[in-house]
């Protein structure tokens, strides 16, 4: 049963720790700050918090360059503070999910320092080293995700090491059983401390082509796209052997009760769903990012949902994501009005939703002055709009100085409208987007059809998307109608109870629904209403 598995019926809330709450006054969010703000996810009604990397790191990529997999960076606190956070979260009924970054470490990790010391070092094969090409250049044409070659020459040993991201992030060699054992031990270290699961960073990158063949050119590449898109990553990622690696990782978690393995995977649907594993021994939730890149129209969203549902293996549980620390804010992508539609879509589709901090208050991307840019991607490819800082700005909690985020100077600037758009103010507004999120989450908890029911497409005509959620066991049926357009639309569904509108200004018995521009509604048809 879906309701017996917390990560199936639950809602995941992503916290970018540098920007959630600063408890020390240094302008950077930390574990103490997260603990201080646990009231918020509890009040909102989510089930789990996912915390982006908090491991020791030189911060070349803000924690995604790990120097120790079994410690806490002092900027975020200590292991004692982490244990206290887990205990207090659990006491509130909140699960704790950690980011895990196994594809690459920091170049300051002791493993890599040993690996680059000499070709004969016992840890040499813990990373990916290759001789130069005949002309002395890189071993092949692979590109780094943040620009430039994916190979850096180590002058001392005369070989190149591979890095899918920054040179400061050398890729580990997951073909080496010693690496796998070490990383499994790291997982157990956190599982033993009570962590409820992991979101695994770039999981599809872990295995590379054994022959290190060149990647082919991408015929669809355009000069305005990121440099990495010039080539198709046919040989540098998503190799057939990866599924055995993911199955081993899953086995580590399966030795502990009620844990979840989430995989970050930016791949087409037919390749994404393979990460569930042939026998469902892969990731519990291979992240589905389709909504992030979809055309925001009713027909496009309906097609996307249908294709995803059709591609899922029989036992595969779906999941949906509107945004994260690497993508533009949903309110920036589609506008403030449609962001309310997006909230209703996210929380009424079948599967596990993940909510990015700040989206519940309608946060938008913040323009970052050139002298405040932090993101290494923007620094390496300036002026291309690739920087992720605008979606990582501090959470505004109230209208006080720095939005209540810090008593110091925030590491990134807050949104200029934080005095109006903040948690305290919007929580008191019965028609705010924050209230909408809370009401949607409460309705989802109350209605078994939303938590566990099947998805039934109805129509996607013009600007209006209509679908239903059915739960056979209880007989409950709900209809969701979303107006993606700027014109009023009439919907004749017969007698129904209007349970919730994105405008939060009406409810009750209706015989037809007049959908206003950018309005969504959840309806319980009278003939099918039963207690849940």
Give catalytic residues, as residue numbers. 201, 264
- C-alpha span between 389 and 63 (Å, rounded): 14
- What SS3 state is found at 409? coil
Judge contact between 31 and 72, C-beta under 8 A.
Answer: yes
- C-alpha span between 452 and 8 (Å, rounded): 8
Q: Which two tokens stand for residue 282?
A: 């892969």
Judge contact between 108 and 71, C-beta under 8 A.
Answer: no
If you count them, how many residues does the chain have? 532
Helices 177-191 and 242-254: crossing angle in degrees, nearest 10, is 30
Q: Which two tokens stand for residue 249?
A: 């990782």
- C-alpha span between 496 and 508 (Å, rounded): 8
Q: Which residues contact 147 (CB under 8 A, 6 or more apart)?
A: 226, 227, 228, 377, 380, 381
Is residue 435 within a helix (H) or strand (E), and if so which, with residue range? helix 433-446
Question: Which conformational region is residue 211 in: left (phi greater than 0), alpha (psi within -120 to 50 degrees), or beta?
Answer: alpha
């Amino acid at each position: 049963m879906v309701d017996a598995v917390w990560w199936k019926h639950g809602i995941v809330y992503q916290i970018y720790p540098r920007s959630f709450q600063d408890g020390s006054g240094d302008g950077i969010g930390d574990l103490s700050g997260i603990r201080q703000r646990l009231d918020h996810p509890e009040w909102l009604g989510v089930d789990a918090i996912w915390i982006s990397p908090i491991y020791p790191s030189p911060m070349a990529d803000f924690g995604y360059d790990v120097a120790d997999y079994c410690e806490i960076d002092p900027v975020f606190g200590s292991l004692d503070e982490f244990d206290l956070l887990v205990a207090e979260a659990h006491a509130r009924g909140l699960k704790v999910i950690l980011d895990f970054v196994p594809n690459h470490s920091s170049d300051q990790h002791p493993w890599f320092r040993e690996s680059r010391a000499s070709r004969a070092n016992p840890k040499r094969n813990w990373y990916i080293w290759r001789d130069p090409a005949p002309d002395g250049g890189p071993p092949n044409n692979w590109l780094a995700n943040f620009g430039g070659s994916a190979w850096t020459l180590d002058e001392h040993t005369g070989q190149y090491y591979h890095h899918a991201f920054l040179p400061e992030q050398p890729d580990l060699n997951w073909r080496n059983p010693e690496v796998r054992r070490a990383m499994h031990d790291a997982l157990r270290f956190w599982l033993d401390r009570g962590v409820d699961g992991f979101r695994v960073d770039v999981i599809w990158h872990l295995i590379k082509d054994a022959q290190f063949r060149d990647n082919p050119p991408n015929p669809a590449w355009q000069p305005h796209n990121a440099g990495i898109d010039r080539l198709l990553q046919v040989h540098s990622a998503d190799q057939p052997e990866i599924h055995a690696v993911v199955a081993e990782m899953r086995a580590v978690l399966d030795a502990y009760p009620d844990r979840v393995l989430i995989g970050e995977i930016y791949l087409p649907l037919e390749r994404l769903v393979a990460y569930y594993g042939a026998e469902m021994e892969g990731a519990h939730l291979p992240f589905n990012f389709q909504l992030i890149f979809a055309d925001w129209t009713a027909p496009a969203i309906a097609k996307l949902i249908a294709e995803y549902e059709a591609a899922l293996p029989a036992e595969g549980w779906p999941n949906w994501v509107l945004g994260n620390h690497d993508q533009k804010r949903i309110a920036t992508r589609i506008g403030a009005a449609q962001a309310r539609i997006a909230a209703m879509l996210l929380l009424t589709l079948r599967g596990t939703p993940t909510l990015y901090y700040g989206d519940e208050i309608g946060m938008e991307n913040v323009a970052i002055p050139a002298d405040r840019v932090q993101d290494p991607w923007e620094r390496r490819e300036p002026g291309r709009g690739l920087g992720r800082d605008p979606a990582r700005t501090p959470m505004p909690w109230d209208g006080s100085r720095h939005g209540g985020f810090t008593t110091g100077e925030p590491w990134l600037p807050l949104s200029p409208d934080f005095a109006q758009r903040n948690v305290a103010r919007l929580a008191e507004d019965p028609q705010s987007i924050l209230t909408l999120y809370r009401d949607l989450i409460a309705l989802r908890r109350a209605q078994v059809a939303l938590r566990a029911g099947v998805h039934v497409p109805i129509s996607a005509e013009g600007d209006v998307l209509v679908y239903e959620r059915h739960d056979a066991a209880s007989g409950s049926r709900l209809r969701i109608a979303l107006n993606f357009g700027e014109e009023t639309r009439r919907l004749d569904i017969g007698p129904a109870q209007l349970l919730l509108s994105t405008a939060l200004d009406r409810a009750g018995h209706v015989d037809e629904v007049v959908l206003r521009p950018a309005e969504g509604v959840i309806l319980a048809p009278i003939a099918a209403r039963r207690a849940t």
